[in-house]
Amino acid sequence: MSGILEGKRVLISGVLMESSIAFHAAKQAQEQGAEIILTAFPRPTLTERIARKLPKPTKVIELDVTNGEHLGRLADIVGEELGGLDGVVHSIGFAPQDALGGNFLNTPFESVATAMHVSAFSLKSLTMACLPLMQNGGSVVGLTFDASFAWPQYDWMGPAKAALEATSRYLARDLGKQNIRCNLISAGPLGSMAAKSIPGFDELAAVWDNRSPLEWDLKDPEPAGRGVVALLSDWFPKTTGEIIHVDGGLHAIGA
């Protein structure tokens, strides 16, 4: 029996650790029949080392999503490797330390601008860089952390994720005519590289201990990875501009 991504070609960003959602999305994509390529920044060698743990070998490309030259050459590099693309996974986010950890009121605009550029605008940048390779349509999937609420310690990453969510909706609007879907997975907190960069992350994660209807495991990124793969597949052919929660159901619980 073939997998749900059989014959698909997918670019996946953000594989930094074996505990990252992107790694599990890559692993499951390969297991479901996809041919994948990874992008990495600032340390491609780290991603190459992690990529050896995937079921099949895969190429790693250096890509700084704020660098116009990197974005400009991406389609040529990926096209030479895969011929085209059917899916893109955006798992990219960054905010300077002074934009996190309870410093919201004192964060300078320069740090906010960096967070917005890397974490939100890059969804548009990456998608447009890959667009020439998606001649037959496809699926773009990003990762968010529910921006409907103000979370403890999350500070300017909250507005950055809100911008990411809005960007996804506008991409869905403008790319639908080309049969390209754009959706997001809103995952619960995980002990990833991104989480470790947030001062006071334990306080944020503790919310799930008390309110999540389904037991939430900070050490298990596989459910979120499965969500990414599902949205990459043809099983959601008319779903776009959507945010799918993979958070144990906490988003539905008021108190």
Integer-rounded Cα Rg, in Å, for the chain is 17
Annotated binding residue 197: no
**Does 19 count as an annotated binding residue?**
no
The residues pairing with 141 across neighbouring beta strands, listed in sequence order, are 89, 183
Alpha carbons 175 and 168: distance in angstroms, whole number: 10
Instruction: Tell whether residue 92 is among the known ligand binding residues.
Output: yes
Please check if 2 is assigned to a binding site. no
Q: Is 141 annotated as a binding residue?
A: no
- The DSSP bridge partners found for residue 9 are 35
- Binding site annotation covers 95? yes
Residue 60 belongs to what H/E stretch? strand 60-62
Q: DSSP letters of 104-168?
A: GGG--HHHHHHHHIIIIIHHHHHHHHHGGG-TT-EEEEEEE--TTS--TTTTTHHHHHHHHHHHH
Q: Is 234 labelled as part of a ligand binding site?
A: no
- How far the first Cα of the chain sits from its last, in Å, is 44
220 assigned ligand-binding residue: no
Cα distance between residue 120 and residue 124, in whole Å? 8
What residues form the annotated binding site for NAD(+)?
14, 20-21, 64-65, 92, 161
Which residues are annotated as part of the binding site for substrate? Answer: 95
Q: Which residues are annotated as a binding site?
A: 14, 20-21, 64-65, 92, 95, 161
